[in-house]
A and B are shown apart, each in its own frame.
Chain A
Amino acid sequence: MADGNASSDISLNVAVELIAPAVEKLARHAGIRALIIKGPVATHHGLRPARASADIDVLVEPGRAYDLVDALEACGWKRRPMTRAAELAASHSESLIHPRWPIDIDVHAKFPGFLAGEPSAFEALWRDRTAMSLAGTDCTVAGLHGSIIIALLHAIRPDAIGHQRTDEHRLALAAVARMTRVDQERFVDIVVDSGAAGALVGSLREVGLTVPVPGGQDATAWDALVASKGSFTGQVLAAASTAHGGQRVKVLWLALWPSATELRAAYEGEGHVVRSVTWLRLQRLGRGLRALPGALRALARARREAKHSGEGAQ
Chain B
Amino acid sequence: MVNKNKTRGEGKQPSFLSFQRMHFKHLFTIILALVVSTVQLIAQDISKYYAVGTQEPGNIYFIYPQKGFKTPKGESFIYDITYLSPQDSLSIKFTYSDRDLLAIDSLGWKSSTLTVSSPVKKIYIEASSKWIYRYEVKLPVDAMYKIYSNTTDIPEINLFCADRIISFEIKKKNWKKYASINHRIFDLIHLNNKK
Q: A and B from one assembly?
A: no
